[in-house]
């Protein structure tokens, strides 16, 4: 018997032996429901569909799943988006202490495709515990030693990724619910300034590296105050009201147990990958602040840094690898007590240039992590 086969046999035997006592405790069921041959069972009922059931599978059922909720984590707590209409692709980006979650659901002429990604660098996740970090200075404790051993600094790290397959937002006109900042206990004027500045960092391609500004840049226009809210709810969902034709930024709480700092929902055409709507929801109950303390800072996040990252998604940027490019604004983790994500690094700059600068030749985008391409084949 080949070694690998023997090992498999032994493993199966061990599993069987381990399972027996449990099986003996169960009442005998003569008619166990057969495993579903396909995904037809999704058609039954109307409840949420765990993304895990859909990931890496193309759903083309006789019934329509449009409007059904797709949930990220298996326990149905966390990110959720509704199955969009045919021709639409919706993606939710949530940043949390130490990482991000991203949930994508596309409907390409009735075929439903889903991806879920959860990244964490382990740095700030420790900050979620009620422990003091006496040496957590204003410079922050950015990531792992391995990262610093690789390439240090935002002006050396060059990777970028696209949100929606390499097409930016043609002209991002947006509203802001400035009054909602009061829910976070923030100065209404101060929060507005920070969010407008974050937006302009993307359109001005503002970096600390002295890089020449690209010829072409993203266009955006702040249309002023609104009483409307982003179509994102406290349960971390892109709601059924998304898209509504308006790009809206607002503040609001996340439910207990949802440790998100901010959530951005973007909508694009599932065929052309063109973004046409983005809403940004900033957590009013998760330690976002306009004034990081110079000393003794712990478990606080800079509003402008978080907002700059979220605007990056709205303008068409995705996440880069945290281990190798963790100092970039578009790395999935935003460090606590750190303002460096307010400005762009080399990779962020290159990403915007690729989206809005001179057209590049096909295949000339080193570092591209075009995972929409994976979804759409």
Closest CA to 96 of 326, 343, 255, 332: 332
Residues 6+ apart with CB under 8 A from 176: 192, 195, 196, 222, 224, 225, 226, 248, 249, 250
Say how far apart CA 307 and CA 347 lie, in whole Å.
Answer: 18
Residue 93 interacts with Zn ion (CB under 5 A)? Answer: yes
Cβ atoms of 356 and 218 closer than 8 Å: yes
Using the minimum distance from each CB to Zn ion, give the nearer residue, 118 or 156. 118
The region, left, alpha or beta by phi > 0 then psi within -120 to 50, assigned to residue 16 is alpha
Q: Which is nearer to Zn ion, 42 or 162 (CB)?
A: 162
Name the residue number minimizing CB distance to Zn ion.
93
Q: How far is the CB of 147 from Zn ion (least distance, A)?
A: 17
Distance CA 142, CA 193 (A): 26
**How many CB atoms are located within 10 Å of the residue 371 CB?**
18
Q: Tell me how far, at minimum, the Cβ of 160 lies from Zn ion, in Å.
A: 13
- The neighbour count for residue 174, using CB atoms within 10 Å, is 23
C-beta of 91 vs 350, nearer to Zn ion: 91
Please tell me what DSSP assigns to residue 222: E
Q: What is the DSSP letter of 212?
A: P
Q: Please say whether the beta carbons of 354 and 365 come within 8 A.
A: yes
State the Cα–Cα distance between residues 81 and 48, nearest whole angstrom: 10
Nearer to Zn ion, 93 or 276 (CB): 93
**Residue (100 or 178) nearer to Zn ion, CB:** 100
160 φ, ψ (degrees, to nearest 5):
-150, 160
Cβ–Cβ under 8 Å, residues 315 and 307: no
Residue 329 dihedral angles phi and psi, to the nearest 5°:
-60, -35
CB 163 within 8 A of CB 317: yes
β-strands 69-71, 80-82: how paired?
antiparallel
Closest distance of CB 312 from Zn ion, Å: 7
| Cβ distance to Zn ion smaller for residue 93 or 356 | 93
What is the phi/psi pair of residue 364, to 5°?
A: -105, 35
In the complex, least distance from residue 294 CB atom to Zn ion, rounded to whole angstroms: 27
Sole window of 74-82, 96-104, 167-175, 266-274 interacting with Zn ion (rule: CB under 5 A):
96-104
Name residues contacting Zn ion, limited to 354-373 (CB under 5 A). none
100 makes contact with Zn ion (CB under 5 A):
yes
DSSP 8-state class, residue 317: B
311 binds Zn ion (CB under 5 A): no
The residue among 64 and 119 lying less far from Zn ion, judged by its C-beta, is 119
Identify the helix (H) or strand (E) that includes residue 203: helix 188-203
Shortest Cβ 309–Zn ion spacing (Å): 5
Binding of Zn ion by 260 (CB under 5 A):
no
| Options 46-54, 90-98, 114-122, 193-201: segment touching Zn ion (CB under 5 A) | 90-98
Q: Which is nearer to Zn ion, 106 or 264 (CB)?
A: 264
Q: Which stretch binds Zn ion (CB under 5 A): 99-107, 139-147, 201-209, 342-350?
A: 99-107
**DSSP per-residue codes, 75-144:** TS-S-EEEPPPTTEEEEEEEEETTEEEEEEEEEETTEEEEEEEEEE-SSGGGGGSS---TT--TT---S-
Please work out the total of residues on this chain that contact Zn ion, with binding judged by CB under 5 A.
2
Which residue lies nearer to Zn ion by CB, 106 or 266? Answer: 266
**Binding window for Zn ion (CB under 5 A); candidates: 89-97, 104-112, 136-144, 224-232:** 89-97
Taking the complex as a whole, how short is the minimal distance between the CB of residue 283 and Zn ion, in angstroms? 14
| Least distance CB 102 / Zn ion (angstroms) | 7
Least distance (Å) between residue 79 CB and Zn ion: 12
Under the binding rule (CB under 5 A), the answer on residue 331 touching Zn ion is no
Q: Of 50-58, 92-100, 216-224, 252-260, which segment contacts Zn ion by CB under 5 A?
A: 92-100
Q: Shortest approach of Zn ion to residue 62 CB, angstroms? A: 36
- CB-wise, 42 or 279, nearer to Zn ion? 279
Q: How far is the CB of 276 from Zn ion (least distance, A)?
A: 19
Binding site for Zn ion (CB under 5 A): 93, 100
């Amino acid at each position: 018997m080949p070694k690998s086969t023997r090992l498999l046999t032994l493993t199966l035997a061990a599993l069987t032996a381990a399972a027996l006592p449990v099986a003996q405790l169960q009442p005998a069921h003569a008619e166990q429901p057969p495993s579903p041959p396909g995904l037809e069972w999704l058609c039954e009922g109307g409840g949420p569909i765990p993304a895990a059931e859909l990931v890496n599978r193309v759903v083309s059922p006789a019934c329509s799943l449009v409007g059904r909720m797709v949930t990220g984590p298996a326990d149905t707590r966390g990110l959720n988006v509704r199955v969009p209409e045919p021709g639409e692709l919706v993606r939710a980006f949530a940043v949390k202490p130490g990482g991000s979650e991203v949930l994508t659901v596309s409907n390409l002429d009735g075929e439903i495709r889903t991806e879920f990604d959860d990244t964490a660098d382990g740095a700030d996740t420790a900050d979620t515990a009620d422990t003091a970090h006496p040496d957590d200075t204003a410079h922050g404790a950015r990531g792992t030693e391995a990262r610093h051993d690789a390439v240090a600094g935002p002006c050396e790290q060059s990777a970028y990724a696209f949100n929606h397959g390499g097409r930016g937002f043609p002209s991002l006109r947006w509203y802001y619910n400035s009054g909602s900042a009061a829910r976070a206990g923030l100065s209404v004027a101060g929060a507005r300034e920070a969010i407008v500045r974050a937006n302009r960092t993307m359109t001005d391609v503002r970096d600390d590296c002295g890089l020449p500004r690209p010829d072409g840049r993203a266009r955006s226009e702040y249309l002023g105050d609104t009483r409307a809210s982003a179509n994102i709810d406290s349960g971390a969902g892109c709601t059924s009201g998304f898209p509504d034709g308006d790009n809206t930024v607002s503040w609001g709480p996340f439910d207990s147990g949802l440790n998100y700092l901010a959530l951005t929902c973007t909508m694009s055409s599932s065929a052309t990958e063109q973004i046409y709507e983005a809403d940004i929801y900033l957590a009013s109950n998760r330690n976002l602040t306009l004034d990081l303390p110079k000393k003794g800072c712990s478990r606080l996040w800079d509003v402008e840094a978080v907002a700059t990252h979220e605007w990056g998604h709205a303008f068409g940027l995705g996440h880069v690898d945290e281990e190798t490019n963790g100092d970039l604004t578009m790395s999935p983790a935003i460090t606590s007590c750190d303002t460096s994500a307010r400005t762009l690094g080399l990779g962020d700059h290159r990403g915007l240039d690729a989206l809005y600068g001179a057209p590049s030749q096909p295949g000339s985008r080193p570092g591209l992590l075009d995972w929409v391409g994976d979804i759409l084949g």
